[in-house]
Amino acid sequence: MTGSKGQMGSELNELASLYQYDFFFTDRDSLDITNEQSIRNYIEIHNIDVIINCAAYTLVDKAESQELISDTINHKAIESLAQISKEKNIKLIHISTDYVFDGKHYKPYIELDATSPNSVYGSTKLSGEKVLQDINPQNSIIIRTSWVYSSFGVNFVKTMLRLGNERDSLGIICDQVGSPTYARDLAKTILDILPNIQKKNVEIYHYTNEGVLSWYDFAKEIMKMAKKDCKINPIETKDYPTIASRPHYSLLNKSKIKQEFNIEIPFWKDSLDECLKVLGEKK
pLDDT digits (tens, 9 = 90+) for 39-71: 999 999 999 999 999 999 999 999 999 999 999
Interval 252-270 mean pLDDT = 98
Q: Which residue has the higher pLDDT, 241 or 257?
A: 257
Interval 106-127 mean pLDDT = 96
Catalytic residue among 42, 121, 207, 216: 121
| pLDDT value of residue 165 | 94
The residue extents of the domains of the chain are 7-278
Mean pLDDT of the chain, nearest integer: 96
Catalytic residue list contains 182:
no
Q: Using an 8 Å Cβ cutoff, are 214 and 146 in contact?
A: no
| pLDDT value of residue 283 | 58
The domain covering 7-278 belongs, at the CATH homologous superfamily level, to: NAD(P)-binding Rossmann-like Domain (3.40.50.720)
pLDDT digits (tens, 9 = 90+) for 121-140: 999 999 999 999 999 999 99
pLDDT digits (tens, 9 = 90+) for 22-39: 999 999 899 999 999 999
